[in-house]
Structure formats: structure tokens, C-alpha cells
């Protein structure tokens, strides 16, 4: 039986992988996993299988749930003297300038494989091995270097991803020049590792030969990710953070991640204003809401010792419309899928900026989530082993009183929540069709020390406001790469991917 579903992914290659699962009779979760397997393994630099992420699932007749498979703090294998640990500070002229830490000691406990395993076992239809067929073919035959990867690798290729011989061979021509967009990439040994995972199941990454080899490499190289960390890793199911706007119920990523709480607070504050178009008052309110909520995050959440209490305060003030109270308080892949049974799946993963570490013979670049300093403000010592690291990711599903089911998410670091916010407002409140809602220009409040400015795409009209600006003349990948898939009884499927970041969509006809 052919599955009926819609997919919005970060590339046509990833969308095609999801489509293959639909053709095999898979559901929205099967399609999301297969598409994400392709995305994280064919967008070098942007993402990696050794990162972590979240999956929000809305099943018909059941409360929405978010599976937490994000990166955890390592160290269960024992204390390690600082003199034995290897971490390398790197400054990249990327996105206006980024300071990060790479090398073995920046590597956290990966959760992506475990996340996919739990989702497949509990919600999917197809065998685990079948989900890997498209990504094994793509990585064995070679895949075109995506534009998003190229734009990042211009800055990060040499200082990060050339730290290993296999990594350099994958990304550079024989003459030493970085490969360009569209050039074929074959990552040595990657397809073999994926075959090993397909045959051995998720446990192969955590208690099997592959996992043990990765752990030994990291420990021997000067990191803290050991066998005990991998053996102890567990995906945590959490009730999704649910809110209402207009006649929609929206479910997203709950604490201890902060992305979902930030998105929910902004949606509540925007929803109270009930904009009907992006006129001057609505734009001013959009800027005020972003400034308030992102400022609260900056001041209260990034170094919170009680993230549940602090997010509860934020959401309470947002529900009350108390914008003044909030003001007083600041690299990823995504796939969205829905099917004709009303099952919606939204999954986002990240490997940080990449540690540059690739255990020889695996083809797997490891994450640098401990060194992703703009998210992990505490740096290489963020907390006790096993603790989840902070995240902006906010994979989201929604259902309307009229029966439309929607899955949405975005890559884009701290622009994830503001990108999703504006697309949801465009579609849910302003009534724009999904594609128009995504293409519409966006704004994002950013902070420079204690001052703020509004990064904005020119056509939005922020120049009407008396605020400091950073103008983008055209649509820019800076503002995320939103993907949306939806289904409505009697109308069928709709899917759209953001033109800011080359994406792919696929859907079947009812």
C-alpha cells in the first residue's frame, strides 16, 4: 500500500528519500526519519549524524509528544585532568563573526541515532533497515555539495573540517581547492558506517562495535565522550508545550530546551494583537515582542539554574500579555511531514559548528555542542554528565478547529524561533497560503552587548519604524529555512520549502 503524505525538507535529495518511504507504505514518521538521514549525511558542515535533536509528533486522538534526543554532557567514564583535554578555540568570519571551540573536548554525547530509533520503533511502520536505503545509496554514489554547506565551508573548511585526512579528501579537490556548490562529494567510509547502523540497529551506535570505536577515539584524542556515556544515553519523551492562537492548537518543544518556550511566548503575545496585515503598528509590535522575549532569554534563560521555573514565568507573562514585565527581565537540519491519517512529524537536529573530529574509517564528523558558545554559555563545563545541553530548536506541529494538520520547523540558530513565528502568523492569522507565508520577508531582533537592532529583509517595511536596523536587500539564508507540510480533509496536502535555503518538497494526491 502506498502511503499518502507530504514532505518539506532541506533538499530535493532528502525529500526524495521521504517519498521513497511513502511509496513503500510508510507513514509520516518513516518519511521524516529517512529524509533526515539523508539531510544530516549529505549536508557536510551544516549537520551530522553524530549530533542531537528533537521530534514533535502529533498522532490523531492523542496528546502531542516531543522526543528529546539532544546532545548530553559527557564524563560518565570518569574525571579527566585539564592537561589531558584537547580543545581548540576558532574564530570564523561567518554570520557576522562566530567564536567557537572545536576538537575532542568539545564533543557531547550524540542523540540523533537514538532519537530516530525510538521514533521508528514506537511510531513508524517500516523496518529500520529500509529507512537507510536512500542515504546509503546517496553516500556511496556521491551527492552534490549543497549551497548551504558551501557557504559555511568557505569559512570553516580549513580550520574545522580539514582536521582529518578523510574530511579533507571529502571536501577538497586534489589541487587543494574547496569543492563548489554542485560538485560531487563522497565521504570516505560513510556509506559503510551507515550499512553497519542499518544492520545492527540503533544499539550499534551506543553499545556496539561502532559506538565503542568512536568512544575510544575521542578519549584517546583528548575528549571526554566514553563508552559509559553512550551506554547510558536515553531518549526522553516529554509532553509537548501546547498553546492556542486563534482557532489553532500549537505543540512545540518543551523545557529544558528553550526554543519552544521562546516561540510559544512570542506566539501568545502576537496572537493577542490579532494583526490582519503587516502595517506599521503590527511591525512595531513584532519588533517589541521579539525584543522582549529574546531579551528575557538572554537575561534569564541562557544561564538559568531553574529553567522550568524561569520558562514558566516567561509563559505566564506572555499569556497575560505582560510585555512590560518581560522587557524588564533574551546549525541545523529540519524535516516536516504529515500523512492522510492526520499524523504530523516535525524533527530538527544539530551538530553545532562541528568538532572537526572524524574517527578514522567511519566517515562520521562529530559534534562540537559543548563548544557552541552562543547557545552553551557555560562552555566546556556546562553541568553534570548526562545533563541535556541548551537548544533553540523548536520542531512544531499544529491543528486547527477545522481539521487542518500542520508540521513546521526551521534551521537557523537563534533565528529558528523568529522565523517559525512569522510564518505561523502569516498563515494562521493573516490567512496567507503556506508558500506565500514562507516567502514573505522577515525580521529578527539581535543584541549587540546591551543594545539591540533589527535585522530585516527590505520588503517588510521595518524602515517605517524608528529603530536601529541591519538591512538585507533580498531574501537571505540568515533568516532561517522554514519547511511546512500540511493536510486537510477534503483539500489534501500542501508542502513548501524556504527559497532562502535550497529545499525540497513532495506530496501525494488524495
Q: Which helix (H) or strand (E) holds 231?
A: helix 227-232
Q: Contact 409/347 with Cβ under 8 angstroms? A: yes
The DSSP call for residue 254 is: P
Q: Contact 35/22 with Cβ under 8 angstroms? A: no
Q: Among the options 139, 332, 349, 418, which is catalytic? A: 332
User: Please, is 142 exposed, middle or buried when counting C-beta atoms within 10 Å of its C-beta (0-12, 13-18, 19+)?
Assistant: middle
Report the C-alpha gap between 405 and 248 in whole angstroms.
Answer: 10
Report the C-alpha gap between 472 and 465 in whole angstroms.
Answer: 16
Report the C-alpha gap between 41 and 14 in whole angstroms.
Answer: 10
Phi and psi dihedrals of 468, rounded to 5? -70, 140
Residue 506 pairs with which residues in a beta bridge? 7
Question: 222: phi > 0 → left, psi -120 to 50 → alpha, else beta; which?
Answer: left
C-alpha R_g of the chain: 21
In the block, residue with C-alpha cell 575532542? 104
Q: Contact 34/231 with Cβ under 8 angstroms? A: no
Residue 397 pairs with which residues in a beta bridge? 251, 407
The DSSP call for residue 18 is: H
Q: Contact 31/18 with Cβ under 8 angstroms? A: yes
Phi and psi dihedrals of 32, rounded to 5? -65, -45
Residue 393 pairs with which residues in a beta bridge? none
Smallest Cα–Cα separation from 248: which of 54, 426, 406?
Answer: 406
Q: Contact 500/1 with Cβ under 8 angstroms? A: no
The DSSP call for residue 91 is: E
Q: Is 207 a catalytic residue?
A: no
Give the list of residues 6+ apart from residue 98 with CB closer than 8 angstroms, or none.
Answer: 91, 92, 353, 374
First to last CA, the chain: 14
Q: Where are the beta strands (DSSP E) in 120-264?
A: 143-144, 184-185, 236-239, 241-245, 248-252
For residue 256, say if its preceding peptide bond is cis, omega within 30 degrees of 0: yes
Catalytic residues: 332
Amino acid at each position: 500500500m502506498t502511503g499518502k503524505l507530504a514532505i518539506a525538507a532541506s533538499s530535493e535529495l532528502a525529500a526524495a528519500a521521504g517519498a521513497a518511504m511513502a511509496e513503500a507504505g510508510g507513514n509520516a514518521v518513516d518519511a521524516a526519519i529517512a529524509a533526515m538521514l539523508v539531510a544530516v549525511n549529505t549536508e557536510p558542515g551544516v549537520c551530522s549524524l553524530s549530533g542531537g535533536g528533537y521530534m514533535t509528533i502529533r498522532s490523531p486522538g492523542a496528546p502531542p509528544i516531543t522526543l528529546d534526543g539532544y546532545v548530553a554532557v559527557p564524563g560518565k567514564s570518569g574525571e579527566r585532568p585539564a592537561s589531558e583535554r584537547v580543545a581548540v578555540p576558532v574564530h570564523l568570519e561567518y554570520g557576522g563573526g562566530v567564536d567557537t571551540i572545536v576538537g575532542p573536548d568539545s564533543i557531547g554525547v550524540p542523540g540523533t541515532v537514538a532519537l530516530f530509533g525510538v521514533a521508528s520503533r514506537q511510531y513508524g511502520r517500516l523496518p529500520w533497515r529500509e529507512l537507510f536505503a536512500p542515504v546509503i545509496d546517496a553516500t556511496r554514489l556521491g551527492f552534490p555539495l549543497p549551497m548551504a554547506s558551501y557557504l559555511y565551508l568557505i569559512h570553516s573548511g580549513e580550520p574545522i573540517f580539514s582536521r582529518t585526512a578523510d574530511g579533507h579528501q571529502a571536501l577538497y579537490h586534489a589541487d587543494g581547492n574547496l569543492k563548489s556548490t554542485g560538485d560531487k562529494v563522497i565521504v570516505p567510509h560513510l556509506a559503510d558506517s551507515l550499512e553497519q547502523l542499518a544492520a545492527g540497529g540503533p544499539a550499534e551506535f551506543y553499545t556496539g562495535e561502532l559506538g565503542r570505536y568512536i568512544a575510544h577515539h575521542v578519549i584517546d584524542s583528548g575528549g571526554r565522550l566514553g563508552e559509559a556515556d553512550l551506554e547510558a544515553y536515553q531518549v526522553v519523551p516529554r509532553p509537548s508545550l501546547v498553546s492556542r492562537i486563534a482557532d489553532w492548537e500549537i505543540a512545540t518543544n518543551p523545557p529544558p530546551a528553550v526554543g519552544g518556550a521562546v516561540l510559544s511566548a512570542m506566539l501568545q503575545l502576537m496572537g493577542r494583537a490579532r494583526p490582519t496585515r503587516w502595517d506599521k503598528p503590527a511591525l512595531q509590535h513584532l519588533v517589541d515582542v521579539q525584543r522582549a522575549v529574546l531579551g528575557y532569554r538572554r537575561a534569564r534563560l541562557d544561564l538559568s539554574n531553574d529553567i522550568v521555573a524561569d520558562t514558566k514565568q516567561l509563559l505566564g507573562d506572555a499569556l497575560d500579555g505582560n510585555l512590560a514585565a518581560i522587557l524588564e527581565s533574551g546549525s541545523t537540519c529540519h524535516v516536516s511531514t504529515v500523512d492522510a491519517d492526520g499524523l504530523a512529524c516535525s524533527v530538527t537536529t544539530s551538530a553545532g559548528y562541528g568538532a572537526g573530529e572524524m574517527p578514522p574509517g567511519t566517515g562520521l564528523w562529530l559534534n562540537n555542542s559543548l563548544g557552541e558558545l552562543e547557545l552553551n554559555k557555560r562552555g566546556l563545563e556546562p553541568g553534570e554528565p548526562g545533563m541535556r545541553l541548551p537548544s533553540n530548536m523548536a520542531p512544531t506541529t499544529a491543528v486547527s478547529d477545522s481539521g487542518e494538520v500542520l508540521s513546521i520547523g526551521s534551521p537557523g540558530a537563534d533565528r529558528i524561533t523568529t522565523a517559525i513565528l512569522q510564518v505561523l502568523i502569516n498563515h494562521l492569522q493573516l490567512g496567507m497560503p503556506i508558500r506565500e507565508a514562507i516567502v514573505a520577508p522577515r525580521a529578527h531582533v539581535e543584541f549587540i552587548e546591551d543594545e539591540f537592532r533589527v535585522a530585516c529583509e527590505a520588503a517588510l517595511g521595518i524602515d517605517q519604524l524608528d529603530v536601529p536596523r541591519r538591512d538585507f536587500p533580498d531574501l537571505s539564508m540568515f533568516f532561517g529555512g522554514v519547511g511546512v507540510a500540511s493536510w486537510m480533509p477534503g483539500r489534501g496536502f500542501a508542502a513548501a520549502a524556504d527559497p532562502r535555503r535550497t529545499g525540497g518538497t513532495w506530496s501525494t494526491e488524495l
